[in-house]
Amino acid sequence: MSNPVVIVGASLAGMNAARTLRLEGHDGPIVVLDGDSHRPYDRPPLSKQILSGEWDPERIVLAIANEDLGLDMRLGVRATGLSLADRTVETISSDGTEATLAFDGLVIASGAAARRLPGSDGVAGVHVVRTLDDSMALRSDLEAGPGRVVVIGAGFIGSEVASACRKRGLEVTLVEAMPVPLERILGAEMGAVCGRVHVENGVDLRLGTGVDHLETVTESDGSQRVVGVALTDGTTVAAEVVVVGIGVSVNTGWLDGSGLDLENGVVCDNTLLAAPGVVAAGDIARYPSERFGEMLRVEHWEHAIAGGEAAARRLLAEKRGEPGAIFDPVPWFWSDQYDRKIQLAGRPAPTDDFAVVHGSTDEFRFVTLYGREGRLVGVLGMNRPRHVIQLRGLLETGSSFDDACAKAAEL
């Protein structure tokens, strides 16, 4: 074998795929490329410790990047095209050099990019938080001590940014288009509890209103700088810094025309195989989950690790002529906001039954279970990590909603 396994994306999924390939016996070349020129890093701190200034960037280098795995790391090199017929990936490096890379196996882990507000490109003071450069640019603006920060979108990233800004003592307005934050994910009641956490921590929370446009001024050099946000409810909030947290779009542009099935991600089978010798992992992979009876594309930290490992094993199994293992872990993530830790396991929907089975939402310390057709489908905890982890096991094995509620009462 002469051609390498090529891994596109040197973040959590890609690096775990590389590590697993090595751990499980692949001794041929592995090329890892990423348009981001920083050493592989961990993203959760970008909206937490990096923004608040508690940590410096060197603290978030992935431990895997320090392991001696014999990887051919090509950082600052972006994939621009894929030919399944030729088994090649087209690349361009930050200095503009184009190249063609032949592969024996391909791991697609090119992730997702933060969605931006239309018309905000090039406007100073407007930020997204997805990459280390994004986070450091925002941090620099926060260190200048702006009078107010407007955060657009009260999802988990927006909520964590609001929290980091409050930690710095900054005034924050958090704008959410829906009447309740996180309703689509947690349901109206639990979403409202999360909204109250912001209010308790001094955030000016504006619900049910969108952004009409950004107010900007023209600087002496002709560039634009944001000075406020005009909302669809007719009010305008003055702000020197605006952070946009309105979700992500998957980085599938380089795969257009490749013949891969692209529909809100790279569509894989239930073993993460997208085409012979081609697997996907992390935010970009969309696969059928038998556990939840739907196609899933999961943007969680632990899912990226599990997906990277599973994708690597899938390639190795294919090579040995063995069937692949089914990939269907229980999604799980955490979000740190102020002094609260929110953890969610499973895949609840706003229409699910739910019950607070432990603690109290008034004290922001509780566990809520979600049920659908009598079956446990989600576990939400606020400052109850032990309970969430223990109850997550019931999602893995499968449990009725009633049994889970009874079990929770014993914890």
Q: Is 253 in the site for other proteins (CB under 8 A)?
A: no
Output the DSSP codes for 307-355: HHHHHHHHHHHHHTTPPPPP--PPPEEEEEETTEEEEEEE---TTSEEE
- The 3-state DSSP class for residue 160 equals helix
C-beta separation of 88 from 70 below 8 A: no
| Residue 23 Cβ vs other proteins, minimum distance, rounded to whole Å | 6
Q: Is 56 in the site for other proteins (CB under 8 A)?
A: no
Among 179, 393, 398, 406, binds other proteins (CB under 8 A): 393
Cα–Cα distance for residue pair 21/356, rounded to 1 Å: 42
Among 334, 349, 361, 405, binds other proteins (CB under 8 A): 334
Nearer to other proteins, 274 or 305 (CB): 305
Among 246, 356, 389, 405, binds other proteins (CB under 8 A): 389
Cα–Cα distance for residue pair 44/130, rounded to 1 Å: 9
| Residue 76 Cβ vs other proteins, minimum distance, rounded to whole Å | 18
Task: Measure Cα distances from 176 to 180, 197, 232, 335 in Å.
Answer: 8, 15, 11, 18
Strand order in the sheet with 332-337: 332-337, 340-346, 375-382, 365-372, 353-360
How many angstroms separate the first and last alpha carbons of the chain?
53
Annotate each residue in 11-40 with x if it binds other proteins (CB under 8 A) or - if it does not, as one string: -----x-----xx---xxx-----------
Location of structure tokens 């959410």: 176
Among 56, 63, 94, 232, binds other proteins (CB under 8 A): 63
Q: Is 398 in the site for other proteins (CB under 8 A)?
A: no
Q: Is 340 in the site for other proteins (CB under 8 A)?
A: no
Among 34, 36, 42, 176, binds other proteins (CB under 8 A): 42
Q: Is 225 in the site for other proteins (CB under 8 A)?
A: no
| Residue 159 Cβ vs other proteins, minimum distance, rounded to whole Å | 17
Annotate each residue in 86-105 with x if it binds other proteins (CB under 8 A) or - if it does not, as one string: --------------------
Q: Is 53 in the site for other proteins (CB under 8 A)?
A: no
Q: Is 386 in the site for other proteins (CB under 8 A)?
A: yes
Annotate each residue in 256-275 with x if it binds other proteins (CB under 8 A) or - if it does not, as one string: --------------------
Q: Is 130 in the site for other proteins (CB under 8 A)?
A: no
Cα–Cα distance for residue pair 276/61, rounded to 1 Å: 32
Cα–Cα distance for residue pair 332/109, rounded to 1 Å: 19
| Residue 366 Cβ vs other proteins, minimum distance, rounded to whole Å | 13
Binding residues for other proteins restricted to 359-378, rule: CB under 8 A: none
C-beta separation of 182 from 154 below 8 A: yes
Q: Is 44 in the site for other proteins (CB under 8 A)?
A: yes
Neighbouring CB atoms inside 10 A of 323's CB total 9
Cα–Cα distance for residue pair 26/298, rounded to 1 Å: 27
Cα–Cα distance for residue pair 279/345, rounded to 1 Å: 25
- The 3-state DSSP class for residue 94 equals coil
Query: Which one of the spans 99-107, 150-158, 161-169, 300-308 is the region binding other proteins (CB under 8 A)?
Result: 300-308
Taking alpha carbons only, the member of 348, 88, 401, 115 closest to residue 249 is 115
| Residue 99 Cβ vs other proteins, minimum distance, rounded to whole Å | 15
Query: Which one of the spans 32-40, 182-190, 347-355, 390-398 is the region binding other proteins (CB under 8 A)?
Result: 390-398
Q: Is 388 in the site for other proteins (CB under 8 A)?
A: yes
Nearer to other proteins, 29 or 210 (CB): 29
Query: Which one of the spans 90-98, 238-246, 310-318, 386-394 is the region binding other proteins (CB under 8 A)?
Result: 386-394
Neighbouring CB atoms inside 10 A of 261's CB total 13
Neighbouring CB atoms inside 10 A of 355's CB total 15
> Using CB under 8 A as the criterion, which residues of the chain lie in contact with other proteins when the complex forms?
4, 16, 22-23, 27-29, 42, 44, 63, 67-72, 301-302, 305, 334, 336, 341, 343, 383, 385-386, 388-390, 392-393
